[in-house]
């Protein structure tokens, strides 16, 4: 789950990270009032969970409350990089002396947390790592040892601070680290982290990504996610609730598989034979008939889907359960479009018997089934 | 011992009284796996498929001191505790089938296991199977495998069944098949698994089944370039047509921050002379060439 800037900043602030004063606004009037309260000038920032807002017109300066009203009126209800803007963050404008980069994330290869720090910031870390790799300090934190003082000193020195400002950077880093742990984050990032002309060290922007599998431990965020799934389409979020992962694509062949790898391979096969998948739909491991029923029904009712390819290789998934789910969906919706099935694995004989009873085309090899479904979709 | 498992493997099943635990314990026993005990807190004294159930791993081990591996079917919220319990009791190989465990939990128990000299396979994985000694610790359909000289390492469960099925139907058997799981941070990772196969006398060639996300395949390619892997390797990468920025089912399968796309993995392998199959069944054709 990607957090909005205002959510990330509020969490970081609760862990002692100093922040610029700011107010959230959902209407132009609120933006004007916020600007009046904070004192002009202010910065108006569109709340969307995508990087690169600035270049896309999602961050604007406003010199007066009236200008804040106009800028917010322009942003609210509009789009930034394809995402709807429902809220803006109004923040005091600050004079910046220097911009830096600081983040904490999980590193796959080392199986540890990693702190990335750079004395230059304000651009993507990928760009910094590419253009000036010697500027990026990597500090790996053993999760069982935790963040140690020597590591904090190392990061602070790298960013070029000591004394009072060094202690401020330390507070930022420790706050970010605590938020990272407490919120089961995949990423906590402040970019830019700024040294202001008045000597304060504050994040101008903050990003947090929370591990979806840990959302149950954060009921407030789970609720926020259910009400507003951000960059995930409402439909993809609904599909997830039923128990499968679904990604919309732009083709016309409905693809259902079990297991992410097999479903991706099924998509790849459809492409290889000249077809275009309408979706990625992974019913997951151990899916029961109810999940399969919902999945098949979804694609049967989707007008864009001309033919459906179900590719199942059962391990923890019982293929007879899959067949019963297909049966249930067909009984309810009828069969408005062709379905091609490849079924292998656990309880395969029973699964095939059920599908044969429904007169569904079955293949032993996914390649043959893929070729067939591409042909059927083309008719 | 082939790799990690062998004739002397004696397993316990944690979460044996749950729906999946019970079902797959039956399938593992049918395959020939020696399962000596099950563990479910609060269900001590019960039996599942004739296997005695204990309240704790410690109690299971005191009655079955030969147990040296565990298969975990415990739900995500309690699975980390089950792993610590197994490792703490001295189990050397813990196979975690459970999906949806938070990454921070995984990072910690994987580290803990490592410091205690234990290996974790998974989470979110199908497990490990050795068709020769008929040991299956996991949920893969046993009938698609046959003994043979090829070691398989996979980030995807179902895709490894698919490819093993193609291999077996063309008469190419497997020494061991390891499903490392689809999470961003696996216990045993792709490179570690490949290195185990490199050192295994029963393995003549290696199949790597990768997918989008992360840089595990690139790291294997680098190890090959350094001469650390000398056996013939054949690869398949799922997700060539996956869009960036979208999580494709597996938590680990996402092209993000400009890394993890299939093209870079294919290129990394091809650069070090590893042929990459364009469809799952093509893996077998490539294997026939290298064997």
pLDDT (tens, 9 = 90+) of chain A, 379 residues, equals 999 999 999 999 999 999 999 999 999 999 999 999 999 899 999 999 988 888 888 999 999 999 999 999 999 999 988 889 999 999 999 999 999 999 999 999 999 999 999 999 988 888 888 889 899 999 999 999 999 999 999 999 999 999 999 999 999 999 999 999 999 999 999 999 999 999 999 999 999 999 999 999 999 999 998 888 887 776 677 777 777 889 989 899 999 999 899 999 999 999 999 999 999 999 987 778 999 999 999 899 888 999 999 999 876 688 999 999 999 999 998 888 999 999 988 888 999 999 999 999 999 889 999 999 999 998 8
Mean pLDDT of B14-43: 97
Could you tell me the pTM of the whole model? 0.93
Contact residues, chain B, for A263 at CB < 8 Å: 248-249
Residue window 88-147, chain B: list those with CB within 8 Å of chain A.
97, 99-104, 107-108, 110-112, 115, 126, 138-141, 144
Is the confidence at residue B1, as pLDDT, over 60? no
Residue window 180-209, chain A: list those with CB within 8 Å of chain B.
181, 184, 186
For testing contact with chain B, the best of A185, A253, A260, A283 (most B CBs within 10 A): A260
C-beta of residue B136 within 8 angstroms of C-beta of residue B32: yes
Helix (H, G, I), strand (E, B) or coil at A347: coil
CA of A5: how far to CAs of A252, B15, B21, B106, in Å? 36, 41, 42, 27
Q: Is B64 on the interface with A (CB under 8 A)?
A: no
Q: Can the peptide bond before residue A192 be classed as cis, meaning omega within 30 degrees of 0?
A: yes
Burial B235-267 (b: 16+ CB within 10 A, else e): bbbbbbbbeeebbbbbbbbbbbeeebbbebbbe
pLDDT at residue number B247? 84
pLDDT at residue number A136? 94
Mean pLDDT of B73-94: 98
**Chain A to chain B Cβ contacts (< 8 Å):** 189
Active site residue B250: yes
Residue ranges covered by each domain of chain B = 11-121, 140-290
Judge whether B11-121 and B140-290 match in fold: yes
C-beta of residue B281 within 8 angstroms of C-beta of residue A365: yes
Q: Is B154 on the interface with A (CB under 8 A)?
A: yes
Question: Looking at domain B11-121, what is its CATH homologous superfamily?
Answer: NAD(P)-binding Rossmann-like Domain (3.40.50.720)
**Residue B32 C-alpha, separation from nearest chain A C-alpha, in angstroms:** 17
Active site (catalytic) residues of A: 101, 189
- Using pLDDT thresholds of 50, 70 and 90, give the confidence band for residue B31: very high
pLDDT tens, position by position, A49-99: 988 888 888 999 999 999 999 999 999 999 988 889 999 999 999 999 999
C-beta of residue A185 within 8 angstroms of C-beta of residue A176: no
CB contact under 8 A, A367 and B279: yes
List the CATH code of the domain at B140-290. 3.40.50.261
DSSP state of A277: B
Contact residues, chain B, for A344 at CB < 8 Å: 141, 144, 161-162, 165
Mean pLDDT over the full length of chain B = 95
CB contact under 8 A, A344 and B161: yes
pLDDT at residue number A231? 75
Write down the ipTM of this complex.
0.92
Which residue in chain A has the smallest CA separation from B250? A260
Is the confidence at residue B244, as pLDDT, over 90? no
Which residue from A214, A263, A277 is facing B102, i.e. has the nearest CB? A214
Contact residues, chain B, for A49 at CB < 8 Å: none
Mean pLDDT of B123-139: 97
Domains of chain A plus CATH, in order, are 1-20+95-231 (3.30.470.20), 21-93 (3.30.1490.20), 234-378 (3.40.50.261)
| Pairwise CA distance, residues B248 & B256, whole Å | 12
Is the confidence at residue B123, as pLDDT, over 90? yes
CB contact under 8 A, B250 and A284: no
């Amino acid at each position: 789950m990607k957090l909005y800037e205002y959510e990330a900043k509020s969490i970081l602030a609760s862990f002692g990270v100093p922040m610029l004063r700011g107010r959230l606004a959902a209407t132009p009037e609120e933006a004007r009032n916020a600007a009046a309260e904070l004192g002009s000038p202010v910065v108006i920032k569109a709340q969307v969970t995508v990087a690169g807002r600035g270049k896309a017109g999602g961050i604007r300066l406003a010199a007066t409350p009236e200008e804040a009203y106009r800028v917010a009126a322009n942003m609210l209800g509009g789009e930034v990089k394809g995402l709807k803007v429902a809220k803006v963050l109004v923040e005091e404008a600050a004079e910046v002396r220097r911009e830096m980069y600081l983040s904490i994330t999980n590193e796959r290869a080392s199986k540890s947390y990693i702190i990335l720090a750079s004395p230059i910031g304000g651009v993507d870390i990928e760009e910094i790592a590419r253009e000036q790799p010697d500027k990026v300090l990597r500090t790996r934190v053993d999760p069982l040892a935790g963040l140690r003082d020597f590591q904090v000193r190392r990061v602070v020195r790298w960013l070029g601070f000591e004394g009072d400002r060094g202690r401020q950077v330390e507070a930022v880093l420790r706050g970010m680290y605590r938020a990272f742990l407490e919120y089961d984050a995949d990423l906590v990032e402040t970019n830019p982290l700024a040294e202001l002309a008045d000597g304060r060290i504050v994040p101008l922007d903050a990003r947090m990504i929370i591990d979806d599998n840990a959302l149950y431990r954060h009921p407030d965020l789970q609720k926020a996610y259910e009400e507003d799934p951000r960059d995930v389409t409402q439909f993809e979020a609904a599909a997830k609730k039923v128990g499968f992962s679904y990604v919309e694509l732009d083709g016309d062949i409905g693809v259902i598989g079990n297991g992410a790898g097999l479903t991706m391979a099924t998509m790849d096969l459809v492409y290889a034979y000249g077809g275009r998948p309408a979706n990625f739909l992974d019913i997951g491991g151990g899916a029961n008939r109810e999940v399969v029923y919902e999945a098949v029904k979804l694609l049967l009712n989707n007008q864009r889907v001309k033919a459906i390819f179900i590719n199942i290789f059962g391990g923890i998934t019982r293929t007879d359960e899959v067949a019963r789910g297909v049966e249930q969906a067909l009984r309810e919706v009828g069969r408005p479009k062709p379905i091609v099935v490849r079924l292998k694995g656990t309880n395969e004989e029973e699964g095939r018997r059920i599908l044969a009873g429904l007169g569904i085309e079955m293949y032993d090899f996914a390649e043959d089934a893929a070729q067939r479904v591409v042909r059927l979709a083309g008719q | 011992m082939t790799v990690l498992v062998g004739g002397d493997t004696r397993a316990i099943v944690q979460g044996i009284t749950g729906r999946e635990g019970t079902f797959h314990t039956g399938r593992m026993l049918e395959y020939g796996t020696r399962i000596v005990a099950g563990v479910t807190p609060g269900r001590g004294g019960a039996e599942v498929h004739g296997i005695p159930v204990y309240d704790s791993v410690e109690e299971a081990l005191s009655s079955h001191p030969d147990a040296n591996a565990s298969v975990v079917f415990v739900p995500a919220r309690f699975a980390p505790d089950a792993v610590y319990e197994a490792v703490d009791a001295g189990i050397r190989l813990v196979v975690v089938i459970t999906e949806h465990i938070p990454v921070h939990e995984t990072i910690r128990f994987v580290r803990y296991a490592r410091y205690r000299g234990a290996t974790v396979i998974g989470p979110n994985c199908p497990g490990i199977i050795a068709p020769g000694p008929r040991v299956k610790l996991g949920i893969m359909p046993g009938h698609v495998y046959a003994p043979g000289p090829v070691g398989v390492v996979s980030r995807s469960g179902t895709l490894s069944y698919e490819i093993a099925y193609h291999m077996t139907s063309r008469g190419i058997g497997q020494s061991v098949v390891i499903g490392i799981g689809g999470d961003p941070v696996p216990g045993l990772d792709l490179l570690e698994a490949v290195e185990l196969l490199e050192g295994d006398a029963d393995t003549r060639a290696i199949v790597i089944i990768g997918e989008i996300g992360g840089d595990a395949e690139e790291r294997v390619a680098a190890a090959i370039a350094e001469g650390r892997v000398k056996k013939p390797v054949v690869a398949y990468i799922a997700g060539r047509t996956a869009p960036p920025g979208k999580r494709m089912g597996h938590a680990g399968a996402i092209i993000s921050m400009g890394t993890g796309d299939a093209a870079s993995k294919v290129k990394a392998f091809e650069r070090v002379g590893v042929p990459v199959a364009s469809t799952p069944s093509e893996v077998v054709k490539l294997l026939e060439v290298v064997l």
